[in-house]
Each structure stands twice: as C-alpha cells, then as structure tokens.
Structure 1
Amino acid sequence: MDQKTFVQLGQGRTRYIYEGDTSNSESPLIVCIHGIGSASYSFQMLSEALIKSGSVRILRLDLYGRGHSDAVSDPHTGELFVDQVQELLEKLNLQNDKITLIGHSMGGCISALFTHKYPDKVERLILLTPAGLPWNLPTGSSLLKIPYLGRWVFGMLSSFVAPEKTVAENFFDLEYSKDNIATLLKNRGETEQSKWTDALVNSVNNFPLTTSVEQITEISRQERPTLIIWAEYDITTPSDICFPQWVKLFKSNPKAEFVVVKDTRHNLHCEEVELSNQLITSWVHGRDFKSMDLHKLRNTKSANVTLTARDEIIKKFWLDNKVQYSAYMI
C-alpha cells in the first residue's frame, strides 16, 4: 500500500515508500529513483509488478523539491541527491544491503553517480532513458541560468502551459496512454506548482544532466549486471543522440544489455506498462527476456500515430542504423 512515510535527513524531510517483503532481509532490495519532473509515484505500477513477481523489497522516495519531500534551496547537485539516497538507506538500517538501482531520466544519472561513489553497494543497475551524457538541452534552457529572470520566465511559462501538455509530451500515443497520463497528473497535482518550478529550475542549473561522462565511463568498466532501456521516440533524453553514447561506453561490458522499446517516448515505463513490467521483472529475477515474446505485449495501434518533424528525424536515425541496433528493438 502506498503510505506517506517521512524521515528527517540532513537537508530536509524526505517522503519514502518501503514495501514488498520488508520483513525478510534476504529479499533483494530495489531502490527506485525518479526523474527531474516527477516523484515516487512514477514507479508505482512497476513496483506493484515487481512485488507480485517474487520476494523483493522496494524502496521509492521523493527527491528534494518533489512530491512530499521538503524543498531545498541549496544547489541541486548530483551529490545532494546521492547523499539523500544514502542517508535514507542509513535511516532505515539498509546501508549494508546490496541493492538494485532503477533510475529514470535524471534518476538514471543519480543512480550512475551513486554507483560511482558506492560501487560495492550496487549489485545491479537498471537505467531507463538516463541523463548524464552530452546532448543539447532544449532551446531556452540557458535562460534558466540567469538569476531571478530565469525563474520568473519559467514560472510564467509554466502558468500558461497546462500540466496536461507537459506530461503528455513524454508519451507517444496519447489515446492509448490517457488513463496512465490521468494517474500521473493526479499524483503530480499533490506538489505545489511553485515548488515544482523551483526544483526544476534548480536542477537544470546545478545538476550534471549532460556532464557526468567521467563517472559513467568509470562504472561502464565495472562488470556489474546493467540493463539500459530507451524509448524509440524519446525527445527528452534524445534517443538518436544519447542512446548511441551509452552503447559505445557499455558495449564492451559483458554484463551490460540494451533494449529499445518501439513507439514510446520518455515515460516508457508508464506508457508500455505491461511490456516494461515483464521486461524488468524478468531481468531482476535472472530470466532471459530475449527468449520471451515481449513484443506481443506492445500497443500495436501506436503505428498509426502521426509523427512530428522531430519524430521523422529520429525515425530516419533508426532506419539508417538498423543493422547496428535492430537486435535491441522490442
């Protein structure tokens, strides 16, 4: 059950959810770290699937400034969030447990940075469209770095752009995903707009969204089971720019695996829910997902979605590199 549980950490109060087979310390511990604009609720459906799939413990948290955790005015650096995760583990007496990290977007980069700092703690790594390697942030992002003006401009834009549009941009098939989008919007509505805006601006200005090459390169050389999943039409961490960089770094690692989920955008685990759940739960339990007919779980109607100009560029990329990447496509 999703219960609001809080603990006081060094930089503020943190809301977390600890669920599953929590009475059994031998059960695998999975820590889920969400992205820049969401909170722990984005992993609710995956958490439920993992708990049903076998004996596991799931720990989700709201990063500072998101969900029900306290807002923090200090710079939202990678170190801030890595320390938040580590302090939470210590508070719950889980600091000595080996963990599987699941990180989405900025949470993927936080997972990589945590692994870099605490390599002996992280047994396995699942990265969903992770940030961290170089790409050009959206036009206008540089405005956010102008003191006061950036916060004011972004706040004004946020007041004119409906949350529905902001969330929907991270889904490929809006009709197919409408129920899941509504669920995300309901949960996001629990965070004050000004708090969410401040957190987003702070993270864009201070978090190494595109400059964590050194740390990610180092963990790519560690033979740790790692699953990297991308959305075919991701334009947030652009699939045509970011995915090849992660493959280049991790391909020589014998324990790294890659998946590209067709016809999805950035929130792929909230869009193709059943496919994502089956893929991740199978991998967590050591089953060979490549022998499974996961493609049969896909929404086949997404092939009829009208592509944008940016989508056409991405489509051409995948077609031009079909030989190199087709084995990863689901």
Structure 2
Amino acid sequence: MRWLIGFVVLSAVLFLGWMLPLVLIDSLPLDARERAGLPGRFAQLSQGQTYYRIRGNSEGVPLVLVHGFSTPGNLVWGPLLGQLDLEQYHVLEMDLFGRGFSDRPELDYQARVFQLQLSDLLSETGFDAAPFVLVGYSMGGPIVTQYAADNPDQIRRLITIAPAGYPLPSTRTGELVRLPVVGLWLFHLLGPENLEAGIALDVEQGTVDFGLLHQFRRQTLYSDTLDALHSTLMHYPLNNQRQHFRQVGAQSYPVGVIWGLLDEFTPYHNSAKLMEDIPRAELCTIEGNHGIIMNKPVEMAQCLESLLNDAPPPDDAGAWVY
C-alpha cells in the first residue's frame, strides 16, 4: 500500500510540475481594466476584437503597418514613427491576433487568420478605399506580401522589413517546442526568455528604452498569449512563403526591402533570394541585426523615406546602405 501512496504522490507532484508553466506563466487577464485608457481603438472583426491605432494626417500618404511574430504593433513601430514627420503620413498600425491588446481567439493561427484580420480591419477603417503603402516587418513581411499578391489593385507600394518567408536558421529550442505532446509545455517554459532576448540585449546596450521591455513582458503575460504564439509556430509557414514573393514579382507596383546586414533570425543572404523573386525591388541595407525596427530608428526612417520618395541609390550597386 505504501508504494501505491508514494506512486500517487509522485505522480501528483510531476503533474503539478508539468501544469504550472502552462497555468502561471501567462495568467494575466486581458480585461477592460488592461484595455482602458489606451491611445488606440478596438474593432470587432469577424474573428474577434483587434486593437489598432491611426496616427498622422488623413490627407497624408497612407501607410499600413503589420508587425512580426511576437512584438506587437503597439510597441514595435513607436521608435520608427518617432523619427517621421507624421503630418506627411496617415498611419494604421495594429496588433495581430494573439498579441498585444487584440483578442486571442481559440483557433489554429494559420496564414488565412492573419489575411482575414488584415482585410477586415482595412475595410473597417476605410484604408482600402484607395491604394495604400503596405509595410510588414519579420513575420509581417510574408503576411503583407501574400495580401499584396492577392489584392494588387489596392497596393500603392509594398515594403518588407527583414521579412520571414524564406529558409530560417534552425535552433535546438525551435526544434524542441515543435515536438508533439511536450512542445507546448516546453514553449511555456522556455518561450518567454527566448522571446525577450533580443529586446533585453538592446536595453543592455542602451539602444532601446527599458520601458519597452517592461511593456513587452507584461503583454506576454496576458492569458493565452503563449498558446497563440506556439500555435503560430505550428501552423504558420514562417520559412516557406516564397510563392507569394514570386507572385508579387509578376506584378507592377513598386517594392522596397529593408534588411539588417547582421540579422540573426531572418538572414541577410535571403535578400538575394527576394531580389531574384522580385527583380524590380529596391534594397536598403542597415548595419544592424533583426531588431533594426527598434534599435536603429534613425536609419530605418532614412531607408523608409528613401524608398517612399523614389530617391536614387547613392552607390553604383543600386542599393542604399546606412
């Protein structure tokens, strides 16, 4: 009998150890209190509520911004927008589902989820009434590229920043969190530290304010955030979207690309593949890593405005380098 009691106790301890990361790590409710007083708005779309913000001049160049895998739009675009004269632009930024202040619907986070969210929000805000500049960072790169490929008449210009969609480096952690059965548990255990590592390093080096890291940590704690991010890893083809870039290559609107020469997540050498798929694309290179969107805002603004204004490249290679 003692061995049976011991077995039950040990099993209970192991079970609790298994469940605690799933229960405690993202247990902060995303309720009305958390959403109160925000500078943006909420749209009730077909799959759930989306947090978005409109800035700038309604008569300016329409810019639609789509963020990447984990850092939501309410955080990632601030440093860049702080360098732009917003009187010249009409900016729409959003939090993708499962991130920031938007809902975490219970579904598989496939490509069609983000395509529908973007389409719904453009319709809700009226940004699809005339052609607009569509900008995507990291995972947002293939999201906006697919949207542009499917809706070319809506696109005034397409700009991708360090886009995913091409082969990405494999990591041991990435392999572990994709394992069946234990992958989600491991993601809850290992994910938070890995997700914030880049921002934490920027803070340590003094290129990003600690307040941004604090907000990122808090928003990662919202209930079901890690489940949504893990579902994206499992269901969204982060490293296999080349067909959409090739579709864009057969279309005619201007295309710009901004990439960090030292990018460790979406390697710079993928820019050659993108330029092969979209020969008319113009490339602006920044001496920086994957976090250029936040830690190189001055250079980002220079790149963006060079592309938007069709400024001639300063070198014979047909590219800008900052």
TM-score (ref. length: structure 1) = 0.78
C-alpha separation between the residues in 1 aligned to 2:243 and 2:220? 35
Structure 1 contact 36–105 (Cα < 8 Å) conserved: yes
Pairwise CA RMSD:
2.5
Structure having the higher Rg? 2
Counterpart position of 1:200: 229
Counterpart position of 1:309: none
Deviations along 1:90-137, whole A, 9 cap, x unmatched? 111232221101110000110101111111111101111001122343
Which of 287, 297, 307 lines up with 1:273 in the alignment?
297
Which of 101, 113, 135 lines up with 1:102 in the alignment?
135
Which of 63, 77, 101 lines up with 1:43 in the alignment?
77
Counterpart position of 2:214: 186
> Which SS does the other structure have where 1:103 is aligned?
strand
Counterpart position of 2:276: 248
Amino acid in structure 2 at the alignment position of 1:68:
F
Counterpart position of 1:314: none
Superposition deviation, residue 187 in structure 1? 2.6
Deviations along 1:150-199, whole A, 9 cap, x unmatched? 1101111136x376535246x5x95241xx15243133134143533222
> Which SS does the other structure have where 1:217 is aligned?
helix
Amino acid in structure 1 at the alignment position of 2:205:
E
Provide the aligned length of Structure 1 versus Structure 2. 284
C-alpha separation between the residues in 1 aligned to 2:250 and 2:195? 40
C-alpha separation between the residues in 1 aligned to 2:191 and 2:238? 21
Superposition deviation, residue 18 in structure 1? 0.8
C-alpha separation between the residues in 2 aligned to 1:151 and 1:181? 31
Distance 1:117 1:20, change over 3 A: same
C-alpha separation between the residues in 2 aligned to 1:81 and 1:198? 16
Distance 1:287 1:176, change over 3 A: farther
Counterpart position of 2:285: 260
Structure 1 contact 144–205 (Cα < 8 Å) conserved: no
Q: Structure 2: where are the runs of 5+ without partners? A: 1-36
Which of 13, 38, 43 lines up with 2:49 in the alignment?
13
C-alpha separation between the residues in 1 aligned to 2:38 and 2:282? 31
Structure 1 contact 47–58 (Cα < 8 Å) conserved: no
Distance 1:48 1:328, change over 3 A: closer
Q: Structure 1: where are the runs of 5+ without partners? A: 293-322
> Which SS does the other structure have where 1:146 is aligned?
coil
C-alpha separation between the residues in 1 aligned to 2:215 and 2:170? 26
Superposition deviation, residue 211 in structure 1? 1.3
Distance 1:120 1:208, change over 3 A: same
Structure 1 contact 67–190 (Cα < 8 Å) conserved: no
Counterpart position of 2:119: 86
Distance 1:199 1:137, change over 3 A: farther
Distance 1:214 1:184, change over 3 A: same
Superposition deviation, residue 329 in structure 1? 3.3
Distance 1:139 1:244, change over 3 A: farther
Amino acid in structure 2 at the alignment position of 1:248:
E
Counterpart position of 2:262: 233
Counterpart position of 2:185: 152
C-alpha separation between the residues in 1 aligned to 2:311 and 2:220? 42
Structure 1 contact 163–185 (Cα < 8 Å) conserved: no
TM-score (ref. length: structure 2) = 0.80
Superposition deviation, residue 61 in structure 1? 0.2
C-alpha separation between the residues in 1 aligned to 2:318 and 2:67? 28
2:209 is the counterpart of 1:167: no
C-alpha separation between the residues in 1 aligned to 2:211 and 2:204? 13
Amino acid in structure 2 at the alignment position of 1:115:
A
Indicate the larger mover: 271-280 or 102-111: 271-280
Distance 1:183 1:163, change over 3 A: farther
> Which SS does the other structure have where 1:49 is aligned?
coil
Alignment of 1:305-320 (within 5 A): none
Deviations along 1:27-79, whole A, 9 cap, x unmatched? 321000001011112011222333x1542200000000100000122111111
